[in-house]
Amino acid sequence: MNLSSCVELGLAFKLVYPETTRPRAFYSELVGLVDVAEHVCGMKLDKSQRETDWSKSVLSSEQLQYTATDAYASFECYTRLQSEINRCKYDIPSAWFTFDVVGNTRVQAGTSAKWKADCNWWSSEPGVGFIARR
């Protein structure tokens, strides 16, 4: 499987809203879509279908609703987070939260080098990091 221009919404979220993450949480620690969607869009996602049987040839209406809601929430969160990132007065490299997938491996976009969540001015302290650069 190969995918291009994937976005780790949890990392984009932590860049824009570092004050909402756990104190001393590492930048590379992921934040799930449930938390991102609730904070960024005010959406409460129902994850009850996550562990259901997805191998059936016909999915239930609940499974279809689950996938559609996750896709919609992901798009809305990305749009809002990207808008906040664009408002930042400093350049934020997209490499901090985007990657490609080659096979089953995350790689730096447009390369074969392994991708690593890395932001050189990440901080969860008020007045530091993204907050200070808005």
Return per-residue pLDDT of the chain as tens, 134 residues: 677 788 888 888 887 877 666 555 555 567 889 989 999 999 999 999 989 999 999 999 999 999 999 999 999 999 999 888 888 766 777 777 788 888 878 888 888 888 776 665 555 555 555 555 54
Of 37, 26, 36, 32, residue with least CA distance to 116: 26
Range of the domain at 127: 2-133
d(CA 79, CA 16): 13
Q: Which residues pair with 100 in a beta bridge?
A: 107
| Total tally of structural domains belonging to the chain | 1
**Predicted structure pTM score:** 0.76
d(CA 14, CA 35): 11
